[in-house]
Amino acid sequence: MRTHARAVVVGGGAVGVSTLYHLARKGWSDVVLIERAELTAGSTWHAAGLLPLFNMSYTVGQLHKYSVDLYKRLPAETGQDVSFRVTGNLRLATCPERMDEYRKYCGTANTIGVPFRIITPGEVKELWPLIELGGNESTAAIIGALYHPDDGHIAPADLTMALRKGARSGGAEIYEHTEMTALERTASGEWRVRTSQGDILAEHVVFATGNYARQTGRMVGLEIPSIPVEHQYIVYDVCPELERYRRGGGRELAVLRESDQSYYLREERMGWILGPYERGAPARFADGVPDWFGKSLFEGDLERLLPHVEAAQRRVPSLEHCGIKDIINGPIAYTPDGSPLIGPAWNVRNLWLNEGHSFGITAAGGAGWQLAEWIVEGEPGIDMLAVDPRRFGAYAGRGYLIAKNEETYRNVFTIHFPDEERPAARPAKTSPVYDKLSRLGAVWGQRYGWERANWFAPAGVERSDRWSFRRTNYFEHVGNEVRLMRERVGIMDLTPFTKHEAIGPGAEGWLNGLVANKVPVQPGRIALCHALTPRGGIRSEFTITRLASERFYVVSAGAAERYDSDYLRKSLPTDGSVLLSNVTGARGCFVVAGPHSRAVLAKLTSAPLENAGFPWLTGRAIEVGLATDVYALRVNFVGALGWELHFPIEYAHHLLDALFAAGAEFGVGMVGMRAMESMRMEKSYRMWGTDLTRDYSPFEAGLDRFVRLEKASFIGKAALAEQRARGVPHRFATIEVHGVIDADPLGNEPLFAPGGPMVGRTTSGYYGHALRKSLAIGYVKPELAQVGTQLEVEILGERKRATVLPDSPYDPENRELRA
Ligand SMILES: Cc1cc2nc3c(=O)[nH]c(=O)nc-3n(C[C@H](O)[C@H](O)[C@H](O)COP(=O)(O)OP(=O)(O)OC[C@H]3O[C@@H](n4cnc5c(N)ncnc54)[C@H](O)[C@@H]3O)c2cc1C
C-alpha cells in the first residue's frame, strides 16, 4: 500500500469512486481510495438505480444532468457496461398544484438544458399502456404529466466498476478491506490517515462514507449533518400482463412516478420494483453504524408500504397479479433539506465532504465532477451553495437531524411550493422577542434554524400560509406591510444576521485583501463589500462598518453564518494581528425604517439623527432608550430612510417595547420577510445566494461601484481585470413582467428574446407592492440589458411579455433613504 498520496478518498460507494475518477481525470494520478469492506458495500449495492433528472434546485439539476450525460459515455470510455436503460421518466399529476410544480420545474430545466415534455393524459396512456387513467371514486384522474425522455435506470454496481476502471486508468489506486480508523494532522500540516492496513500521509482527504458520515466526522470533531433514514422498495415476481406487453413488442416502460401517492414503479425482469416514500420511516444510526451492520438490511415493514401498494395497484391494476419476491429496506443518507453535502469541511483545511447523498447514484457523477474541480482548482465550476456543507450550522445537532431528515424523507414527493415552511424541529432558534411577535400575529418561517416572521396576520385573519405557486392568502397583508414601511414606519426583526467583529492592527489590511471594495477608512463609515472567488465570482457579501480605527463590524446573511465564519477564520493572518469573533448570538438586530423612522428614534436617543450628524452609510454606537452600546447603522435592505439597530441581545424586549411606544403616534407596526422581499426587488437590491453567486462577477451583477481595481490586491482582482478587458458574458437586469394575473415570477425562470431563443434567466422575482408591478431580476446577454429592451419570461409554462427597467425602479435617486 502507498504511504503517501496527494488525496485520499475514504469510502468506496458510487460517490467516492466518482470522486476518485474525477480527481484522476483532472490529472491527479497520485490519489487513492480506501474502502473498509468491498466497493459498493454501503448503500450503493442495494440502490434501485433510478436516475431522475427532475430536481427543483438549479445546482442539483446541473449535477444530475452531468451524471446522466457521463453515464451514457462511460461504457465507450472504459469498456465497462453500466446497464443504463434509457427508459424515460414519467411523473403523473392529479391536481392543478402538481401541474404548477412541474411547470415551475420546466423553467429551471430550460435554463439548465434538460429536455422534457409536458404531456396530456392521452399521451400518458400511449407511453404507458398498462396504466389506469382514473377519474373514478377510487383513483384520481390523471390531468397531465411531466416526461423526461433522456433518463432511466442504471445498475449501481456496474456504474461503480466503470468509474473504478476509469480512475485506475488515470493512475488512481483502490484499497479494499482498508478502514480509516483515525485522522490526524501532522506537525507539517499534512493529514495522517490511519487505516487498518497502515498509515497514509496525504495533502487532501475526502469523506465519502455514506451512512457512516457521523462517525467519520467525529474523528476530526465534526458533527456532519447527515443521518440515514430507512428506505424500502418491493421487488415483484414476473407480471403476466407486463410480460405479454413486452413479448408483444412493447418497449420498456418509462419509470413511473405517481407523485401524489408518493411512489415510483419501474420494470425489473418482467416484474416490477415499487418504491414508496412512506410516512413513519425512522431515522437510523444517529450515533453511527454499528459494526455488525456491514452489508445487512433492515427487516421490511409491509404495513408502512401498504397504502402505496394499494395506490399503485389502483393505478396499474396488473400489479395485483404478481407476487412479492423481496422487500429491500436499507439505510439511505439524508440531510435536513434532502440535498447532499459537497464541498469543504468547516474549521479544518484540506478536508472535503461528499456525504449525505439520498440520490447518490444519480448525483455521484456530478458530485465527483464538481468536488474534484474544487479540490484541484481551488473552486468549483458552478455555484454550489445549495449543496455546500456549510449551509448548515451547529444547530443541526442530533435531535434536529432526526426530526428534519424524517420529515424530508416523507416529503420527497409532496409538492415543493416556493413558500413552503415545514414544521419539524421548530421552533429551534428564536429571537428573544419571539413570543411578542407571535402575539402581534407573526406567521413564522425558518431559515438556518432561526424562526423569522414571514408576515404578520392582522387580528381576525387566518394565521397560516396557504402555499401556492401563485398569489395566495397573504398577498394583501404583505402589501399592507410594504405600504406601512414606504409611507409610515415599520420594524423588522433581523436578529439572525451573521455578525462578526474583527479587531487589531492587521484588520484593515486583511479585510482589504478579501473584498473587492475598499473597506471604510474613516471610523463611522460603512461600505458594502464583496468577497470574490479567484475566478471573480461573488462568494460573500459583507456590510462592513468601521467602528474605530482598528475595529470593524462585519454583517452578512443569516444563512451564511458557518459559510462566512469558516472563510473568514481560515483566511486570517497567522501573525495574530487580527482578533475575529462571531457575535451573531450576542447581538440582536431591529430595522426601523420608513419616513417617520427618524422621528421615532429621536424620541429614544440623544444622538443627532439629521443628515448632518448621521448621514446615510454611517454607523456608530449610541444609546437607544435604556439600551447602551447599540450599533446604529444607517443602511437597510428595503431602500427607506432608516437604521439597523444592532443591540446587545439582552435589550431586545426593552428596545421593541420602546420603539412601539415611541412609534405609536406614527402607526408603527411589524414588517416581515416577504414584504422585505417585495421592497428589495423594487430597489433592485441583489440578494446574496440567489442573485449574487459565484456564477456571476460583480461586473455582471452591475456592482461596478463596489469594485476598486486600483487597490493593490484582493482575491479575484486578476480575473476581474481580465473580464473588464474582455467584456462581460451577462448583465444584470431588473425586469417588469406584463399581464400577470396571479403568478408572479419567483426566480429561475428562463428569459427569451420575443418569440426567439433563450437569452438569460431570472434569479429572483416578486410583486412590487409599492410600484404595483410584477418584478424579476436576473441576467441576460449584455446587449439585452438596456432599459426598454423587450423580453419574454416563462412563468408556469406561459410566456409573458417583459421590459427591462432602470436599476432601482422605486426611488431611483435614493431620495427616501437619504432624506
Ligand atoms: C433502498 C434504497 C434504494 C435506493 N435507490 C436509489 C435510486 O434508485 N437512485 C439513486 O440515485 N439513489 C438511490 N438510493 C440512494 C443511494 O443508494 C445512495 O445515495 C448512494 O448509494 C450513496 O453512495 P455513497 O457512495 O455516498 O455511499 P455508500 O454507497 O454507502 O458508500 C460509502 C462507503 O464508505 C465505506 N466506509 C465508511 N466508513 C469507512 C471508513 N472509515 N473507512 C473506509 N471506508 C468506509 C462504506 O463501507 C461504504 O462502502 C437508494 C438507497 C436505498 C437505501
- pLDDT per residue over 53-88, tens digit each? 999 899 999 999 999 999 999 999 999 999 999 999
Number of Cα atoms under 13 Å in the Cβ half of residue 348: 25
Q: For the chain, how many helices (H) and strands (E)?
A: 18, 35
Q: Count CB atoms within 10 A of the CB of residue 302.
A: 12
Asked if residue 19 has its Cβ within 6 Å of ligand 1, the reply is no
Rounded CA-CA distance 696/535 in Å is: 10
Instruction: Examine the pLDDT at 676 and tell me if it is beyond 90.
Output: yes
| Residue 752 to residues 113, 728, 788, Cα–Cα distance (Å) | 14, 19, 15
| 11 Cα nearest atom in ligand 1 | 34
Split at pLDDT 50, 70, 90, the class of 558 is very high
The SS3 call for residue 778 is strand
User: Distance from the CA of 27 to the center of ligand 1, in angstroms?
Assistant: 26
* Short-list 586, 568, 597, CA closest to 488: 597
Q: Which of 10, 44, 215 to mutate to test the pocket of ligand 1 (most atoms within 8 A of CB)?
A: 44
Sign of CA dihedral 93, 96, 101, 102: positive
The C-alpha atoms of residue 180 and residue 430 are separated, in whole angstroms, by: 39
How many Å lie between the centroid of ligand 1 and the Cα of residue 359?
A: 9
User: Residues of the chain with pLDDT > 70: what percent?
Assistant: 100
> How far is ligand 1, taken at its centre, from the CA of residue 516, in Å?
41
Is the CB of 12 within 6 Å of ligand 1?
A: yes
In a mutational test of the pocket of ligand 1, which residue from 22, 39, 43 has the highest number of ligand atoms less than 8 Å from its CB?
A: 43
User: Counting atoms of ligand 1 from 1, which one is nearest the CA of 219?
Assistant: 41
Amino acid residing at 676: M
- 84-94: average pLDDT: 97
Q: Which three cell numbers stand for residue 738?
A: 406584463
Query: Which region holds residue 563: left if phi is over 0, alpha if psi is between -120 and 50, else beta?
Result: alpha
Q: In what order do the strands lie in the sheet with 627-633?
A: 619-624, 627-633, 642-648, 587-593, 490-493, 669-670
Range 228-237 average pLDDT: 97
pTM listed for this prediction: 0.97
Q: How far apart are the CA of 549 and the centre of ligand 1, in A?
A: 52
Q: 120-132 burial by CB neighbour count: b if 16+ within 10 A, else e?
A: ebeebeebbebbb
pLDDT (tens digit, 9 = 90+) per residue, 442-491? 999 999 999 999 999 999 999 999 999 999 999 999 999 999 999 999 99
Any atom of ligand 1 within 6 Å of the Cβ of 624: no
C-alpha to C-alpha distance for 232 and 716, rounded to whole angstroms: 47
Q: Is the CB of 421 under 6 A from ligand 1?
A: no
Distance 357 CA to ligand 1 centre (A): 7
- Residues 358/332, Cβ–Cβ less than 8 Å: yes
Q: Is the pLDDT of residue 221 over 90?
A: yes
Output the CA 252–ligand 1 centroid distance in Å: 27
Going from the Cα of 229 to the center of ligand 1, the distance in angstroms, rounded, reads: 12
Cα separation, 61 vs 714, in Å, equals 32
> Cβ(227)–Cβ(338) under 8 Å?
no
- Interval 692-729: pLDDT, tens: 999 999 999 999 999 999 999 999 999 999 999 999 99
The one-letter amino acid code at 553 reads Y
Q: Given a cut of 90, is residue 295 above it in pLDDT?
A: no
Binned at pLDDT 50, 70 and 90, residue 174 comes out as very high
Cβ(656) – ligand 1 distance below 6 Å = no
Choose which residue among 85, 219, 361, 387 to substitute to test ligand 1 binding: the one with the highest number of ligand atoms within 8 A of its C-beta: 361
